[in-house]
Structure 1
């Protein structure tokens, strides 16, 4: 990073009002000076409303956790964050019924947190089953009929699929049975949804990597 350049976390803070921007900047620099439970709630609330922010919020959460641990050796922020994730997870069907966008933002956010947060260099076991449960929900027939949910499912599997499979391979096998069954849905999938699901099946089969041939095939199709 060039001297004097703002950190990436600080760019993301621009989407908040001035008071909240100040709260988050302080949390990143001097976590002991602010109410970290409030900070956790602010980040989760904003993630549920802003899908762009939800894709990147994990990096900010990780930075605050690191800063708090250096300063006080505590984990007030992490505890507050996990409590809120748990509350939203328990009410996920109500959230999906109320706002499909809010639901997609939530899944994006929890996968992002799973991707960034580590305990002894390992993903957090406490998040493995909740993340799987969300992905299983996205692979149900009523979700596969909605392109935004299919898109979310595929994006999150690209991001955390390999890590999840290492933590629990059996559940990943079960998830991919649902995804393959999705091709046989009587209502039928949109052609884009079919393409996305086929791509993720091949992606996993290739060891969670995109082969050059697959990249050329799928991405020329999507851009057409």
Structure 2
């Protein structure tokens, strides 16, 4: 499943009850179906009074719909968490998929992503940080979630729409949004292009226009846009010379 320490490192920022909820969900993911069945067998054969079936003791009793809401809500508030939450969601979904007919967490997660996607303009107007966190989170989920070893088609257009919004002139005038756009293209651009080349071409027309007509662009934003244009032109790879040039410029 990955590295439990990395999955749990941000959980400490939650209140005690929520920490327990997430840790139990991750415990259930690590145990998987067989682990939960073993827990039930152990409880049925254990002598003495039957312990209460609390979520804390029973990984199989965790409310996965609530877990999905907690993860999405916190991802909209904490950009560091939003970059790591995909790994946590992937672990829980993988465990859930081994239980026939179970998709509570996956359904809850996708429903919340859709709700926030539909209200994305209101979110951006209300909180630029929340909007950047949402884009980071949905790209993170797109990067991790797979169906038959392929990215989820249901997320392709929403992710593209978010990136298109970041490439609009009013967004390109804000370094936070330019930085988010470039970071997410580094992360999922190649996958998105394989899923829909035409939309990627259209997105880069906007990016090139924004770079060539830099009304309101900072020098850092211009540098980031040029870097991502060259990154895609080089087959979604950074040459050593380009890395040295761009990252020395950014550090300066």
Q: Normalising to structure 1: TM-score of the pair?
A: 0.94
Tell me if structure 2 keeps the 8 A contact 1:111–1:131. Answer: yes
Gaps (5+ residues) in structure 1?
none
Secondary structure (helix, strand or coil) at the match of 2:98 reads helix
Residue in structure 2 matched with residue 5 of structure 1 by the alignment: 3
Distance 1:214 1:80, change over 3 A: same
* Pairwise CA RMSD: 1.9
Distance 1:105 1:211, change over 3 A: same
Query: How many matched pairs?
Result: 221
Residues 69-218 of structure 1: pairs in structure 2 closer than 5 A: 69-71=97-99, 73-185=101-213, 187-218=215-246
Distance 1:126 1:218, change over 3 A: same
Secondary structure (helix, strand or coil) at the match of 1:183 reads helix
Show CA shifts across 1:182-219 (max 9, x none): 02336241000000000000000000000000000001
Tell me if structure 1 keeps the 8 A contact 2:10–2:81. Answer: yes
Tell me if structure 2 keeps the 8 A contact 1:27–1:33. Answer: no
Tell me if structure 1 keeps the 8 A contact 2:214–2:222. Answer: no
Secondary structure (helix, strand or coil) at the match of 2:114 reads helix
Q: Normalising to structure 2: TM-score of the pair?
A: 0.84
Structure 1 stretch 5-14 or stretch 134-143: which is displaced more?
A: 5-14
Tell me if structure 2 keeps the 8 A contact 1:31–1:64. Answer: no
Show CA shifts across 1:141-190 (max 9, x none): 00000000000000000000000000000000000000000023362410
Q: Distance in 2 between matches of 1:44 and 1:4?
A: 21
Distance 1:4 1:147, change over 3 A: closer
Tell me if structure 1 keeps the 8 A contact 2:175–2:218. Answer: yes
How many Å apart are 1:4 and its aligned residue? 13
Tell me if structure 2 keeps the 8 A contact 1:26–1:33. Answer: no
Tell me if structure 2 keeps the 8 A contact 1:141–1:185. Answer: no
Show CA shifts across 1:56-93 (max 9, x none): 10000001111222345511100000000000000000
Gaps (5+ residues) in structure 2?
27-57
Distance 1:108 1:31, change over 3 A: farther
Structure with larger Rg: 2
